[in-house]
Amino acid sequence: MTGSVAIIVTIVVIAFSLLAGRSARGSGDQYAARGLELHAAEDHVRCVRVLQTALDKGVSPEQYPLVRTCLGNSYYELDEYDLAIENHKKALDADPQFYNAWVNLGIAYRIIGEFDEAEECYKKALAIEPEYAELHSSIGALYIFQEKYHLAVIHLEKATELDKQIPSAWSNLALAYATIGQFDKADAMLKKSVILGYQKAAIIRERIDSLKAVASDPQPGGDQTGGPQTGDGAHNMN
């Protein structure tokens, strides 16, 4: 499961239960309940079809932002980034305080290389919900992309403090520590990500070892980090 999906999976489960209990309110809500279930199951092709039908038929106003951002997440997972961005924006037009949608929009912007827009979205989410672990994990990943490694460390440390069960936050923290020369900490953080089931530890291990080699015998060349391996897509629900 990628980060963008994981970010709101709990909300999806709750919303599905609520919608299932009030299906008499309209056929659109019935489709929405099924679409959110498909979203939670990561069946994104069918999710897109069912949620779009729900929107065509009309859904309850209080559920509209969630339906839109889930639709955006499914488009994201299908590499339809323009449609993902469009739907997250529509969710935020309906509810500007929906911080999950701000995070998801930021993830979509980041994956297409629009780093300034991504950072602005994350800042808006942070102003609404400053103690959201997935958000700090996403900001940390962005700062690695932007080569702002000390800022990445700050947010990734905060993410792991708030939620110790995000494997990609630990692995990205390992990479961030390595970029600033704190290799003992990098090794320790990578071990924690492996314990949590992180699947790309070998890639991070290779990057950390490359940074160690450069630190011990610096040679001319480009950035050795290779970017983060995030749970939010990079791609957090990374």
110 in Cβ contact with 118 (< 8 Å): yes
Is residue 233 a contact partner of residue 7, using CB atoms and an 8 Å limit? no
Provide the whole-model pTM: 0.79
| Residue-by-residue DSSP string for 129-162 | -TT-HHHHHHHHHHHHHTT-HHHHHHHHHHHHHH
pLDDT for position 14: 42
**pLDDT for the residue 217:** 78
**DSSP annotation of 2:** -
Report the candidate in 14, 9, 93, 104 with the shortest Cα–Cα distance to residue 47.
9
Could you give the CA distance from residue 35 to residue 16 in angstroms, rounded to a whole number? 9
Domain 131-238: assigned CATH number: 1.25.40.10
The overall average pLDDT reported for the chain is: 86
Domain-by-domain residue ranges, the chain? Answer: 1-115, 131-238
Q: What is the mean pLDDT of residues 130-154?
A: 96
For residues 164-175, give the mean pLDDT. 97
Render pLDDT for 11-39 as a digit per residue (tens, 0 to 9): 444 444 444 544 444 579 999 999 999 99
Those residues with Cβ within 8 angstroms of residue 12's Cβ, 6 or more apart along the chain or in another chain: 36, 39, 40, 66, 70
Give me the pLDDT at residue 228, please.
63
Report CA-CA distances (Å) from 121 to 38, 39, 50, 164. 26, 23, 28, 24
pLDDT of 175 above 70: yes
Tracing tokens 């290389």 back to the chain, one arrives at 113
Same CATH fold assignment for domains 1-115 and 131-238: yes
Q: What angle do CA 18, 19, 22 make, to 5 degrees?
A: 95
Q: Which fold has domain 1-115?
A: 1.25.40
The 10s digit of each residue's pLDDT in 190-227 is 999 999 999 999 999 999 999 999 998 766 555 555 55
- Mean pLDDT for the stretch of residues 68-83: 97
SS3 per-residue string spanning 38-91: HHHCCCHHHHHHHHHHHHHHCCCCCCHHHHHHHHHHHHHHCCCHHHHHHHHHHH
Task: Give the range among 3-12, 145-154, 171-180 with minimum mean pLDDT.
Answer: 3-12
Q: What is the pLDDT of residues 82-125, one digit of tens each?
A: 999 999 999 999 999 999 999 999 999 999 999 999 999 999 99
**Torsion over CA of 199, 202, 206 and 207, rounded to 10 degrees?**
10
